[in-house]
Amino acid sequence: MNMVISGTGSAVPKLLVTNDDLGRLMDTSDAWIQSRTGIRNRRLAVEETTTGLAVGASLEALADAGIAAEDLDLILAATVTPDQFLPNLACEVQGALGASGAVAFDVNAACSGFLFALDTAALYLKNLCERTPDGADRTALVIGAETLSKIMDWNDRSTCVLFGDGAGAAVLRAQPSGSEKRGIRGMVQRTDGARGGVLSCRNRPVNHPYAKRQEPPAYVSMDGQEVYRFAVRTVPETIREAVDQAGFSMADIDLFLLHQANLRILESVAKRLKQPMEKFPVNLDEYGNTSAASVPILLDDVRKQGKIKEGSRIVLAGFGAGLTCGATVLVW
Binding site for ligand COA (CB under 6 A): 28, 32-33, 36-37, 111, 157-158, 161, 222, 224-225, 227-228, 261-262, 289, 320
Query: If DSSP codes are grouped into helix, strand and coil, which group holds residue 248?
Result: coil
- Minimum CB separation of residue 156 from ligand COA in Å reads 8
The residue (of 71 and 237) whose beta carbon lies closer to ligand COA is: 237
- Minimum CB separation of residue 320 from ligand COA in Å reads 3
Residue 111 falls in the annotated catalytic set: yes
The residue (of 261 and 317) whose beta carbon lies closer to ligand COA is: 261
The residue (of 33 and 74) whose beta carbon lies closer to ligand COA is: 33
Residue 91 falls in the annotated catalytic set: no
DSSP bridge partners of 144: 78, 168
- Minimum CB separation of residue 157 from ligand COA in Å reads 4
The number of C-alpha atoms within 13 Å of 274 and in the hemisphere containing its C-beta is 5
Q: Dmax over Cα atoms in the chain, in whole Å? A: 62
The residue (of 64 and 165) whose beta carbon lies closer to ligand COA is: 165
Q: Which of 91, 283, 289, 325 is catalytic?
A: 289
Residue 283 falls in the annotated catalytic set: no
DSSP bridge partners of 158: none
- Minimum CB separation of residue 76 from ligand COA in Å reads 20
Cβ neighbourhood burial of 278 (10 Å; 0-12, 13-18, 19+): exposed
Cα 67 from Cα 72, distance rounded (Å): 8
Q: Which of 19, 88, 201, 259 is catalytic?
A: 259
The residue (of 64 and 286) whose beta carbon lies closer to ligand COA is: 286
Cα 20 from Cα 40, distance rounded (Å): 9
Q: Which residue is nearest to ligand COA (CB)?
A: 224
Q: Which of 111, 129, 160, 201 is catalytic?
A: 111
- Minimum CB separation of residue 54 from ligand COA in Å reads 20
Q: How far is CA 109 from CA 61, 192, 327, in A?
A: 22, 12, 13
* Helix then strand then coil, % of the chain, to nearest 5: 40, 25, 35
Residue 274 Cα to chain centre, angstroms: 24
Q: Enumerate the active-site residues.
A: 111, 259, 289
